[in-house]
Amino acid sequence: MIGLKSGLKRMLPKLCMKEKEFILGNHRSSFGWIRYIAVGNEPFLTAYNGSNIKTTFPAMQNVQRALNEAGLGDKIKVTTPQNADVYESGSDGPSAGNFRSDIRDLMVQIVRFFNDNNSPFLVNIYPFLSLYQNEGFPVEFAFFDGGAKPVQDKGTTYHNMLDANLDTLVWSLRKAGTPKVKIIIGEIGWPTDANKNANVKLARRFYDGYLKKMASKKGTPLYPGEIESYLFSLTDENQKSIAPGDFERHWGIFTYDGKPKFPIDFTGQGRGQMPVAAKDVKYMDNKWCVFNNDIKNMDRVPANMGYACASADCTAMNPNSSCGNLDERGRVSYAFNSYYQVNAQDVRACNFEGLARIVTTNATIDQCLFPIALQSAGFKIGVQIGARVFAGFLLLLAFFN
């Protein structure tokens, strides 16, 4: 599967030749391994205020047209990953499901396009978000080990949120006149930090139940059989937007440097073993930036700590998180070090008006890891006097089966 960026997607309705040149040109021989082209990602999120409504479907049509002209339309399918908020049922159960009223006509056009071209409906579903967004959501309903109170809907029994959510989509497709459109789970996973419900224990529980369910190939009550799905995510991403929540940077099954977080069996047979860690990972020097304990006046600390966290990742210090129990000086050190590492250990990034110092002894405190930058990922994009630096790692990897 490959994806078209949002910027390119907006151009496609007017610049159809761009994708034609890509598909018909020298890249054609590279398309043998591609099954899907995803146009954009969750374009109709309510948070986008309709900004993608006019561009997404025309872009999809143009890409499909180019594929057809290249003789690839029967091999490569065009779709767009949707958030599960494009359909809804309120509190009335899956059978009340329908596409969201503000985009219903457009979604009907899109799913009929899928039906005509034998393309799948990609949906991103995160049971974790149900817990995050609704304090009253029954925790057990997010998992698959039978602890939830069953939900009845017109004679159908639901034991977990995933089945209920997918069948809400099934009902929406039926009401659009496209009951045979294939459904693919484009993203699903569980974060491990920065929220009370984001931790390794719950992530392992979720994946264990989910992978066993997928291996059973039973599907849902209304969508039986095998369901193609993609896990999100392979590694943590310390520069990912935290607008939806601080946990967004902690979806990885592996840490930022390729170390597995918990045992997992991707075959769904329940033989939980630690995955193989990334090999030959190259770190920068064993150096950490920490608070200078000789400092007695703490007046300048809040501003400098806030400055560090504005450009680096401090989400692990949230309450009930891996670094949530640090004392004041530990928290300052964590913030300073995060900023220092994300700026590739530039000495100017460990100043903070004289509040910080560089050490060569591992600064990790108990279970709170003070990371070291990777040689291949750290890059500097600007330094001003006073060590104003914006920098980062970008490890955007998704697990595809």
CA 36/CA 3 separation, integer angstroms? 8
- Which residue shows structure tokens 């071209």? 117
Helix (H) or strand (E) run with residue 390 in it: strand 388-391
| Strand 36-39 versus strand 2-4 pairing type | parallel
Q: Which of 21, 135, 140, 187 is catalytic?
A: 187
Tokens representing 35 are 């099954």
CB atoms within 10 A of CB 310: 11
CA 253/CA 267 separation, integer angstroms? 15
Radius of gyration of the chain (CA): 24
CB 250 within 8 A of CB 321: no
Q: How many residues does the chain have?
A: 401
Question: Would you call 21 a catalytic residue per the annotation?
Answer: no
CA distances, 96 to each of 46, 76, 159, 312 (Å): 20, 33, 18, 44
Check whether the bond before 322 is cis (ω within 30° of 0). Answer: no
- Which residue shows structure tokens 């602890």? 147
CA 188/CA 231 separation, integer angstroms? 5
| Strand 121-124 versus strand 82-83 pairing type | parallel
- Which residue shows structure tokens 């767009």? 80
CA 187/CA 201 separation, integer angstroms? 20
Phi-psi region of 100 (alpha: psi -120 to 50; beta: other; left: phi over 0): beta
Q: Which of 42, 135, 226, 353 is catalytic?
A: 42
Phi, then psi, of 306 in degrees rounded to 5: -60, -40
Tokens representing 379 are 């890059």
Q: Which residues pair with 122 in a beta bridge?
A: 184
Closest CA relative to residue 150, chosen from 137, 161, 134, 135 = 161
Question: Would you call 42 a catalytic residue per the annotation?
Answer: yes
Q: Enumerate residues 6+ apart whose C-beta is below 8 A from 54.
A: none
Active site residues per annotation: 42, 187
